[in-house]
Amino acid sequence: MKSSNNPSQRLALVGKGGAGKSALTALMTRSLVQRGENRILVIDADPTMGLSHVLGVRAEKTLEDIRRTIINVGGRGNRQERESLVQGLEYHLLEALVEAGGFALLAMGQPQQSGCFCPANTLLKGTIESLSSQFDLVLIDCEAGLEQISRKVIGDLDWLIIVTDPTRRGFQTALDIKKAAARFTRARDIGLIVNRVKEGGQGIDHLIGDTPLHILGYIPEDETITEWDMAGRPIFNLPDRALSVRAMETILKEII
């Protein structure tokens, strides 16, 4: 484990819904593990919990489970029980970690009630701060949109990586995210990954030319991902020859 004097690197993937954040988080995790990076924490901060599927890991306990425990204990009014829970909170967080294939996964989970995700995001923010010092690298797959940016859930970052598909709407959303990130985060670097690019980059030249965003690279449209996804096979286990795997390895050379 890292000491608090040697903080971890933090990377967060954000973007509009359907851009492929979870798939790229899985590809990034795969490449980092293959590279031999030590002590990787992957956080599934999206309540839809799609990351677990593409990583091939199941989270039995989530942050939402811990949050409900806190609410239940607080509601019983037993002071000693509340104090015990607060003192043992980090233990509960560590208990929710799933160790698998060279990395640890922590899932936010799905709220059981409708309404604002504010309490869940508040716990997530504290969890990131609490656990980050114990890992060399923290990789966060955020929920779609601006919620976790505007609420400063992912405030302190080495890289904010915006994921877009090759559409005008996707590029516009990416620009909106960058503007919000400049206001609400302390990201030292912000970059864009364009996902599902057709062979030869057809149709995106004008989008690239118009964007002020720093483009980290392109992930090609990969039939292997489609085939594996349809078969229910984790993207984390894609073969080395897959186009998307090779593209991600190239992108990571610029980031880490």
More confident residue, 6 or 193: 193
More confident residue, 93 or 189: 189
**What are the structure tokens assigned to 28, written together?**
């990034």
β-sheet bridge partners, residue 98:
105
d(CA 62, CA 109): 5
What is the pTM for the complete model shown?
0.88
pLDDT in tens, 154-187: 878 999 999 999 999 999 999 999 999 999 999 9
Residue 248 has pLDDT above 90, yes or no: yes
Residue 101 has pLDDT above 70, yes or no: yes
Q: How far is CA 235 from the centre of its chain?
A: 15
What value does the mean pLDDT of the chain take?
86
Looking at residue 190, what is its pLDDT? 96
pLDDT in tens, 57-98: 999 999 888 888 877 766 555 666 555 655 567 778 888 999
Mean pLDDT, residues 144-152:
83
More confident residue, 243 or 133: 243
With bands split at pLDDT 50, 70 and 90, how would you rate the model's confidence at 44? very high
Looking at residue 79, what is its pLDDT? 61
With bands split at pLDDT 50, 70 and 90, how would you rate the model's confidence at 5? very low
Residue 239: partners with Cβ closer than 8 Å, 6 or more residues away: 224, 245
C-alpha closest to that of 14 among 255, 221, 187: 187
Residue 74: partners with Cβ closer than 8 Å, 6 or more residues away: 82
Q: How far is CA 63 from the centre of its chain?
A: 15
Q: Is the dihedral of CA 120, 123, 125, 128 positive or negative?
A: negative
C-alpha closest to that of 11 among 3, 31, 19, 95: 31
pLDDT in tens, 209-233: 778 899 999 999 999 999 998 999 9
d(CA 22, CA 25): 5
More confident residue, 36 or 80: 36
pLDDT in tens, 111-126: 765 555 566 777 888 8
Looking at residue 6, what is its pLDDT? 45
